[in-house]
Structure 1
């Protein structure tokens, strides 16, 4: 895994410029760097050594030296391709996959991609023709950005590298803000920087004589085999996935694996017996902590498991640094959790496998059930009546099932823009200082729906998510957060051969009334306990809802919402109303609030020239000093000192199962190591009642302090706040209508 950058054309101090562009992405490749320059082009490279550790440095040339390559990624079938290319007469000087990629271009040109299996973003320069060839992998696992400055090209793995070019003028793209407010990310090829674009997945690009030409070489099309049986599907999935795992584990360094309670990473980890897995969670109980699940599974499948609890303070302090590495704002709070798990893994391994892509390819999101659930409602209830019911529901408080009826108003092409839908056009017009930039987000999806017009609704949703949500959110955060910690992240589900099988599955073997990812779960069940393979989709729950109802973090966001940056873009009165309504538990606005907060943090870093470390929120105020007790008698004082000494001795004892950095380590437990029975705690006698007992109050717990010390922040009822963030509601329509009757009548009377 590496970072690349480069530019064409004349420029003063060209060597200094390419070095600055390369240095700013050192985190992508701390092991070595390299530069190629001639009178036309400057190419920079940062290397994270994975294959051919001694001889795999770049830039690299072919035999006669007329082609120069810089490349980021892995070609998993490079050994087979090398043999084929040697048979065609090509000479190799290394055992690296980068040299194989260069010779593949030399041999097959634009047709090279049908031979490749892997993830990649690369640049190839032809010294004779002065042409530059850029390409990005099939699904967009690896990023590649470019801009045209006058008549010259500038490209890089990350936008921050392009910003180092002295002739590039940094300008804010307000169209990206409009899209971001609806999608929680910026749909590619657009970026928040005017004139900088992303090369789209499955595309290559030529830059010749100042002209850019792009072409698509791969499109993820679904071709269901309606004759396929369930057993055939499960057999094919198991076979191709095992082959993909084997290919993705090829490396000259140790390879680890992420592990959560979900089926995706668990299925991957089932092939890692005796190796290392990694998990993070929040100190908020089981709803926001998958460590217990992961620990249990690790013991069953025999892996060495490492885990970390993320404190509230750590999470919020990391937001600016994460947004700096993202290059563009991403309002998916799980990207911060991903930052911590990649940081944990990087302390032990250089490469890690993860489960990204399984939901999009095999139909894993709960919302993919919407077409089946909505079908009866949209068929029976006319459109005008659905609109009326939806209007009434929008006036209701945030109750279970309300969003179901609102979403069911419109056809799929109008209501579904992806897994996240933050602000609609009307809300954006009210929120933005410049309402003219607000647009209907469904317009941005029309091209995708047009290309998927022959698919059923479930497959249309998958196609849209593969081309938009997965690229703009899932894979973007996977690349940026792993590279921020100099860790290579590989995704075996997003393999060309795996997709061939996934795209051939009939819709009922992807999504049905029994479960999502139906056939894939059956394949995973051959390697995992049934309760893991059949576990419902949860995602990575992050307690932003709870944090924003705590006084401390409420004020952190409030300060940002009243900042000059917020005044520049938004109607701050409306922002504060969203924040207050959430704090007062009138409405769950957590996702809308987080979307704005993340944007403001990002903007201050990239356009306000504020260092990420200067944007960290202030620490929670220290608790008030305890009231000083009166002087104790000598004998009582002696007992107190003895108690303190005993506590100090206990504190000096090292905790078990911790490594040098204080990270929990779980290793498989053998049956012979378990005691026959565990001692039971002694019962304490209850004190005698001297007065009438006061009725108990609801149990509240301080969920922000990992030390157990009291805080001045607002206390939160854990039972009321324990529901994790979810993109969909799972409801029984009949039960919902029965419970909604009185609330509708009351609301209509008020109107």
Structure 2
């Protein structure tokens, strides 16, 4: 295991570039380094010595000087290949697998690569032709990134992206498409484009040839096509003999990966896959302790497990079951990652991964590798078994659809009965009651629009084809990336026995019943481990995976995470709608069971990734280090600490919103009116509005400046109909509303307002039909259509009524959740006004304020129009509506749905109103 890097076509800068790139990869190879220069090529190598520690230094050149290699990985069948090459007349100067690869290329060219069984990324320079050939193994276990400049023919490549950045040949920039696909679909590592513009990854099983003619990339293997061809044939029937053969093949795959001159250990999560690896090694140590093939393991196998006591994610009892069975053959190391350590390590963890990842789960692996590096240099684990043997629950759906497509109804019925507990679990997850918020609600609308055509799909009704897809594109590539980054961060070589091309070919030659049968996935692995694994592991139904108690950690670290979401840098990104993110995070902290954390993690990960790789002067660690140094605890934002328009400190009750004013002279009654917008937190279903209003009025009165509200001036309390409706449970996320056909049809004939208000959307039309009935909506539509013919507008709402007029759809400029929800008008707004007025009169405010209080108004006000829906005052509605003509509340993300409205009287009477400015529509 090593780090490689190189360049082509950089002339006099080649040597400086090679040394800078090599320095970035020191953690991948602390045991040695070397560089090579010839023609247009520069090569650099960092060595982690595993095999032939004395003689395997690199770069390595053939005796005739023609070929030079730098290589990262291990080829496990190198001894067999060496024997074949020696029979062909090749001689060897070392005992390393590196020299076998080099001689194989010299003998067979790129045709040699398909014969390698292992993990590798290497570059070979041909001095005779000044050609550089770069290749990556069949599964992409080892990373290889590259950058090309077509205009000049220059090329950079390396084991890590940071090495390419260190060359300083181009300006680092994020790839917005990759960021969008990650945020929207959780897609990453599924094609050749990385998250860095212009930097790509060489595909699994591909070779890249670089010479004076340019860059050519082509596959060196037909492995995926071979697997499809094998799968298309009738599968070998499942039998005890098949199980025995699989066991032997698996044991051989593990044995091959124990070749080492340094200590070898095992990652043990407690799941079926890693437990199988650890168990077969332990069993062999018990039965054949003198076997030289297991010498690198030692007398006792070192296992490393992340455990989370008292957490739902904890698998310690499964780890302990295996340890109990093999007490004399295992030395166990248990690592207890904590929320505090996670926060302390977060920046390094993000930088280690180089690109955003799907969840914080890989941090458990990061913590394990840190401890393992104190004891071993090579670590085996169970990666890849899930993708090859349907280890995730959604595969059951794929298989059931396949059986239905194939009209195998008897098998379908049997599988549905056998997997009924899995199907129930999937159904419970789907109908868990958690709020599933579309990520678009938290993203910049321009960013979303620019990538609206992006789609991600997966195979739905062919099990083996889906396994292929996930093995080579959708799932395993990202897991292999996590593993490589985490292991090499701590100078450990990770090996994956399940990711073996011969083992996979054997699996695909079997009938699907070897993979899923009677509701059991990984059937052949489970049955091959009977008597080797404890039953509680081999017969496990609940898969947890290598993960962390992310939700608990998020709550423990809430203050630090919130500070990141509230930061200027987060708000400045072209990707996020920062105020909605912060509002939703606050809602999550107040209602942790309402949301999952995956969406928050993706937003957080992108921000920290941007800071790590693109913000030259960023100091992102202040919030993290400060919070990590304090005692962990759950922190939630108080409602009155909501962010302002720019996610800064809360706005004063006595200041206008940005670009608004406090005073206005009404064009209806000529009075001057002062409007104080009051900022609140999010209001949710079932909230006590009377307590909320009383608290805000008391706060307003307590800090009231002497000249802000002239003595004796009558004042009103105004509340947005939105929060009244929300508190009454008359607001829904758009995805919770299923429009009937009539709503879809009728909404086509309604003009959509720029702000999203009105009935031009099927969801709001559906609410209108629910509120007043389909006949009335149809009648109003007919009258409205007739009115347009004769040039009379507004007839629709005259017929359908104000309750429908007040229906709101998702408004893009509003704060979460209004930007993704639709609502009916509040129920009985007059009664609501009366109750709120009573609460205000009972509030702890000065007597003179109580005496001048004139009542409460429920107002629907926005940039398009105003409508008093209810009140307990005698003032005419049009007078009150005119006081909000310039929409002083902003109706935006300021979250100021409350207002103190003061009647200053007629200007020119010596009262404060003569300082007001007359409102004029521009």
1:283–1:309 Cα contact (<8 Å) kept: yes
**Structure 2: distance between partners of 1:22 and 1:620:** 33
2:563–2:623 Cα contact (<8 Å) kept: no
Partner of 1:670: none
Partner of 2:568: 564
Q: For 1:183-194, list aligned pairs within 5 A.
A: 183=186, 185-194=188-197
How far the C-alpha of 1:534 sits from its partner, in A, is 1.4
**Structure 2: distance between partners of 1:614 and 1:140:** 37
How far the C-alpha of 1:170 sits from its partner, in A, is 1.5
Partner of 2:268: 259
How far the C-alpha of 1:332 sits from its partner, in A, is 2.4
**Structure 2: distance between partners of 1:175 and 1:25:** 28
Deviations 1:77-131 (A, max 9, x none): 1111111101111121111000000111111112112321110000011111111
**Structure 2: distance between partners of 1:604 and 1:348:** 33
Partner of 2:626: 618
Residue 300 of structure 2 is aligned to residue 275 of structure 1: yes
- The 3-state SS of whatever aligns with 1:401 is helix
2:306–2:368 Cα contact (<8 Å) kept: no
Question: Does 431-440 or 45-54 show the bigger shift?
Answer: 431-440
Q: For 1:294-305, list aligned pairs within 5 A.
A: 294-301=319-326, 302-305=329-332
Partner of 2:427: 401
How far the C-alpha of 1:355 sits from its partner, in A, is 0.3
**Structure 2: distance between partners of 1:561 and 1:603:** 13
Are the structure 2 counterparts of residues 484 and 613 from structure 1 closer, same or farther at C-alpha, using a change threshold of 3 Å?
farther
Are the structure 2 counterparts of residues 613 and 121 from structure 1 closer, same or farther at C-alpha, using a change threshold of 3 Å?
farther
| Unaligned 5+ runs, structure 2 | 283-298, 407-424, 633-766, 772-822, 825-922
**Structure 2: distance between partners of 1:498 and 1:623:** 49
Partner of 2:520: 515
**Structure 2: distance between partners of 1:103 and 1:547:** 51
Out of 534, 539, 544, which is 1:538 matched to? 544
TM-score by length of 2: 0.60
CA RMSD of aligned residues (A): 2.9
| Unaligned 5+ runs, structure 1 | 380-398, 407-421, 450-454, 625-744
**Structure 2: distance between partners of 1:200 and 1:618:** 41
Question: Does 13-22 or 352-361 show the bigger shift?
Answer: 13-22
How far the C-alpha of 1:41 sits from its partner, in A, is 1.2
1:276–1:304 Cα contact (<8 Å) kept: yes
1:352–1:490 Cα contact (<8 Å) kept: yes
Are the structure 2 counterparts of residues 560 and 612 from structure 1 closer, same or farther at C-alpha, using a change threshold of 3 Å?
closer
- The 3-state SS of whatever aligns with 2:259 is coil
How far the C-alpha of 1:188 sits from its partner, in A, is 2.7
**Structure 1: distance between partners of 2:127 and 2:620:** 41
Partner of 1:70: 70
2:247–2:528 Cα contact (<8 Å) kept: yes
Are the structure 2 counterparts of residues 314 and 432 from structure 1 closer, same or farther at C-alpha, using a change threshold of 3 Å?
farther
Residue 179 of structure 2 is aligned to residue 174 of structure 1: no
Are the structure 2 counterparts of residues 623 and 576 from structure 1 closer, same or farther at C-alpha, using a change threshold of 3 Å?
closer
**Structure 2: distance between partners of 1:423 and 1:178:** 16
Are the structure 2 counterparts of residues 178 and 342 from structure 1 closer, same or farther at C-alpha, using a change threshold of 3 Å?
same
**Structure 1: distance between partners of 2:334 and 2:492:** 17
**Structure 1: distance between partners of 2:619 and 2:630:** 26
- The 3-state SS of whatever aligns with 1:120 is strand
**Structure 1: distance between partners of 2:172 and 2:630:** 41
**Structure 1: distance between partners of 2:545 and 2:138:** 24
**Structure 2: distance between partners of 1:377 and 1:402:** 23
How far the C-alpha of 1:4 sits from its partner, in A, is 0.3
Deviations 1:53-76 (A, max 9, x none): 011000001121111100000010
How far the C-alpha of 1:619 sits from its partner, in A, is 2.9
Out of 469, 481, 484, which is 2:489 matched to? 484
Partner of 2:469: 464
How far the C-alpha of 1:615 sits from its partner, in A, is 6.8
How far the C-alpha of 1:616 sits from its partner, in A, is 3.4
**Structure 1: distance between partners of 2:236 and 2:145:** 42
Out of 293, 304, 315, which is 2:318 matched to? 293
Deviations 1:252-307 (A, max 9, x none): 11211111211101110013334333334354415232234313312312311111
How far the C-alpha of 1:236 sits from its partner, in A, is 2.2
Question: Does 219-228 or 575-584 show the bigger shift?
Answer: 219-228
Deviations 1:117-164 (A, max 9, x none): 110000011111111111100111000011113311110000000001
Out of 330, 347, 352, which is 2:374 matched to? 347
Partner of 2:237: 228
**Structure 1: distance between partners of 2:147 and 2:561:** 34
Out of 552, 559, 569, which is 1:555 matched to? 559
1:105–1:112 Cα contact (<8 Å) kept: yes
2:11–2:40 Cα contact (<8 Å) kept: no
Partner of 2:588: 582
How far the C-alpha of 1:427 sits from its partner, in A, is 2.5
Out of 160, 163, 167, which is 1:161 matched to? 163
Are the structure 2 counterparts of residues 137 and 105 from structure 1 closer, same or farther at C-alpha, using a change threshold of 3 Å?
same
Residue 200 of structure 2 is aligned to residue 197 of structure 1: yes
Q: For 1:418-457, list aligned pairs within 5 A.
A: 427=440, 430-431=443-444, 433-439=446-452, 443-445=455-457, 456-457=461-462
How far the C-alpha of 1:472 sits from its partner, in A, is 3.7
2:145–2:159 Cα contact (<8 Å) kept: yes
2:6–2:44 Cα contact (<8 Å) kept: yes
TM-score by length of 1: 0.73
Are the structure 2 counterparts of residues 285 and 432 from structure 1 closer, same or farther at C-alpha, using a change threshold of 3 Å?
farther
Are the structure 2 counterparts of residues 213 and 481 from structure 1 closer, same or farther at C-alpha, using a change threshold of 3 Å?
same
Partner of 2:912: none
Partner of 2:693: none
Residue 244 of structure 2 is aligned to residue 242 of structure 1: no
**Structure 1: distance between partners of 2:527 and 2:191:** 34
**Structure 1: distance between partners of 2:397 and 2:582:** 33
1:58–1:69 Cα contact (<8 Å) kept: yes
How far the C-alpha of 1:345 sits from its partner, in A, is 1.1
- The 3-state SS of whatever aligns with 1:6 is strand
**Structure 2: distance between partners of 1:445 and 1:206:** 32
Question: Does 156-165 or 283-292 show the bigger shift?
Answer: 283-292
Deviations 1:593-647 (A, max 9, x none): 01111111111010013478667342357579xxxxxxxxxxxxxxxxxxxxxxx
Deviations 1:167-204 (A, max 9, x none): 22212211110111122534331111111100000111
How far the C-alpha of 1:209 sits from its partner, in A, is 1.6
**Structure 1: distance between partners of 2:347 and 2:238:** 50
Partner of 2:216: 213
**Structure 1: distance between partners of 2:106 and 2:323:** 46
**Structure 1: distance between partners of 2:241 and 2:371:** 39
Q: For 1:492-503, list aligned pairs within 5 A.
A: 492-503=497-508
**Structure 2: distance between partners of 1:465 and 1:400:** 20
**Structure 1: distance between partners of 2:249 and 2:75:** 17
Residue 364 of structure 2 is aligned to residue 337 of structure 1: yes
How far the C-alpha of 1:11 sits from its partner, in A, is 4.0
Are the structure 2 counterparts of residues 539 and 91 from structure 1 closer, same or farther at C-alpha, using a change threshold of 3 Å?
same
How far the C-alpha of 1:585 sits from its partner, in A, is 3.3
How far the C-alpha of 1:586 sits from its partner, in A, is 5.9
Q: For 1:101-140, list aligned pairs within 5 A.
A: 101-140=101-140
2:39–2:127 Cα contact (<8 Å) kept: no
Larger radius of gyration between Structure 1 and Structure 2: 2
Partner of 2:844: none
Question: Does 273-282 or 232-241 show the bigger shift?
Answer: 273-282
- The 3-state SS of whatever aligns with 1:22 is helix
Name which structure has the greater RCO, CA cutoff 8 Å, separation 6+: 1
Partner of 1:591: 598
2:125–2:132 Cα contact (<8 Å) kept: yes
